Structure 1
């Protein structure tokens, strides 16, 4: 079975979040909510802080949409704190960073680079039922775009809330959707 449409697997991870003590996050904490698992290769790297900063600029908007963001790398929660305390870009971020030094999350989501101990650059959107709805995986040197992530989340939420409707390419909130039917076959 492909990962889209599959259920997230059980996990427990220690998190760092600005202004808080270290805390545990489990698959149970995600249940009933929308969540983004934003995997990146490693702390103290090059593309990662730019895309995490971009995501951070959209964090308040994502929270208004009922979405929690979890940044995940195979570093420890201690490394996440040290990076937060020493990087201007990372120091601004308010979402939790999950330590995955045992590679449970990276394996569960299929992004672990076996033999390297690093995660691929992958984004996973999980719905309130714990089902993976969206996946994006890019190569090492290609950073992601949080504007596009927000657009896709809005589309996924629209489809969930409006059974029988689908969002066409480049759909933006408020635009027309489609109701798949035999009448549309061959007419689009």
Structure 2
């Protein structure tokens, strides 16, 4: 069963955000577009490159009304220590959620049980708390924030233009499609 179009499950967690520890819950993700990015662990190799890439694009996500949440099974204390020691992670201005109980990783079905780590899962969640985009990578494969930004824009476009869909490689301002009997076999 896919998580697409399902409601996010309840959770409560602590995040490191802009020099403070804050509470985050499923309710924190509602009322705006959210991106939840799971990664295996702090103090690793591919993870800081991804989180830095997101940090470099964070202002663009914010302009779209999107909040980003990074999540690993580390504690919020580890997130702070990583922030204090890594030049890449110092750029991060979005919340880094600690998931040492693995509740979030289980809820989003990205937990590697035998390792206690999360896969590289990316979830775009609409303001109603429904998962609209889901992508899970093997932990050796890094993600691209600009491609995620394109997907967020497409999800927002489709949500605000009922009956229209975004074709492959769609970018903001490009033509969309309106599925109908007249289009069958003509694309």
TM-score between both structures, scaled by the size of structure 2: 0.99
The runs of at least 4 consecutive aligned structure 1 residues that moved more than 3 Å come to none
The residue matched to 2:81 in structure 1 has which SS? helix
Count of residue pairs the alignment pairs up: 187
Hey, what does 2:14 align to over in structure 1? Answer: 14
Hey, what does 1:165 align to over in structure 2? Answer: 164
Unaligned runs of 5+ in 2: none
Hey, what does 2:65 align to over in structure 1? Answer: 66
TM-score between both structures, scaled by the size of structure 1: 0.98
Give 1:32 shift: 1.1
Q: Distance in 2 between matches of 1:167 and 1:92?
A: 32
Asked whether 1:3 is paired with 2:13, we answer no
Give per-residue Cα distances to partners, 1:41-60, cap 9 Å, x unaligned: 00000000001100111111
Give per-residue Cα distances to partners, 1:98-142, cap 9 Å, x unaligned: 000000000000000012100001100000010000011111111
The residue matched to 2:150 in structure 1 has which SS? helix
Q: Distance in 2 between matches of 1:170 and 1:141?
A: 25
Q: Distance in 2 between matches of 1:76 and 1:101?
A: 6
Hey, what does 1:184 align to over in structure 2? Answer: 183
Hey, what does 1:121 align to over in structure 2? Answer: 120
Q: Distance in 1 between matches of 2:80 and 2:18?
A: 8
Aligned pairs (5 A) from 1:20-39: 21-39=20-38
Aligned pairs (5 A) from 1:99-114: 99-114=98-113
Hey, what does 1:139 align to over in structure 2? Answer: 138
Unaligned runs of 5+ in 1: none
Q: Distance in 1 between matches of 2:104 and 2:32?
A: 18
Hey, what does 2:49 align to over in structure 1? Answer: 50
Give 1:30 shift: 1.1
CA RMSD of aligned residues (A): 0.6
Q: Distance in 1 between matches of 2:71 and 2:158?
A: 27
